[in-house]
Amino acid sequence: MNHPASRSLWSLFTLMTVTFICLAGCNAVYAPPVRISQHGAPHPVSRGTAELGGAIYGVNQPVGGAGTGSVAVTDRLGLELGFDSTSVDFAMGHLGLRFTPKAVQLSNVALEALIDLEFGGGAGAGGEICEEPAADDQSLTACAEDDRRWTERPAGGIYGGAGLGLRYRAVDVFYRLRLQGTVATDVPLTFWHSSFLGLQVRVLELLRIYSGAGFYSYRNRQDDFIVPYWEVGLSVFVGGTRE
């Protein structure tokens, strides 16, 4: 980004993104989502398979990250434990289940379709009450009408979602949809929706790396908000038999 034109384009993109966020919800009121990271493409597992993964996500630059661990308790059902966090507005842990039916062969050229379903809950701290920006802080996330910092605002909720993936050899194209309902101290019940389209590469069925983009939105009785975002993640598999 040393070329003047590149710097100008990046500055314009940053300005447009911040302006979009401001129009949507500078004076934000929300309980935080239980999960942001999207887990990558659906994949078949067998009992005893363990998975460890991590992700970073952002708008025009990274704003947070996640870590997850899971173990397949049957050939189709996995138990998941993880966290999502940003440095400015929330930190949440989650526990859930993921069900993955058997892959469907679509043709004679190694093209398969997979789906998975997820459900769980979580707790932590975060959220915001920001009906008027703080006079002494110009950031987008630093106003709290009740004088609580996000770390002083207990929060929790539930989530459910589904993923659809197409696998061809070592490459996956996938889409994920997730709905969440969350609460936090002095913040109204907040409903979250996310849609995400991604591309994933698998290495020897032991490592998977994915990236993609989508949007997050929330709505409650005081506020609503929508923003595009990107995510990059990877995970490794241990034990079991990977298909």
173 and 196 Cβ atoms separated by less than 8 Å: no
Q: Are 71 and 79 in contact (CB under 8 A)?
A: yes
Q: What is the 3-state secondary structure (H, E, C) of 10-37?
A: HHHHHHHHHHHHHHHHCCCEECCCCCCC
Tens-digit pLDDT profile for residues 201-222: 999 878 999 999 999 999 999 9
Contact call for residues 84 and 92 (beta carbons, < 8 A): yes
**Per-residue model confidence (pLDDT) at position 108:** 73
What per-residue confidence (pLDDT) applies to 13? 41
- The token duo for 156 is 């929790």
Instruction: Please tell me whether residue 109 adopts helix, strand or coil conformation.
Output: coil
Please state whether 146 falls in left (phi above 0), alpha (psi between -120 and 50) or beta: alpha
Please give the pLDDT value at position 60.
82
What pLDDT was estimated at residue 97?
97
Strand partners, 30: 128
Provide the pLDDT for residue 238. Answer: 85
Q: Which pLDDT value is given to residue 12?
A: 38
**Predicted pLDDT of residue 105:** 84
Helix (H, G, I), strand (E, B) or coil at 7: helix
Per-residue pLDDT tens digits of the chain, which is 243 residues long:
454 444 444 443 443 344 344 434 457 899 999 999 998 999 888 888 999 999 999 988 888 999 999 999 999 999 999 999 987 889 999 999 999 998 888 877 789 999 999 999 999 999 988 765 545 555 444 555 677 888 999 999 999 999 999 999 899 999 999 999 999 999 999 999 999 999 999 998 789 999 999 999 999 999 999 999 999 999 999 876 555
The pLDDT, as a whole number, for residue 103 is 86
pTM for this prediction? 0.82
Q: Indicate the CATH number of 27-238 among 2.40.360, 2.40.128, 2.60.120, 2.60.40.
A: 2.40.128
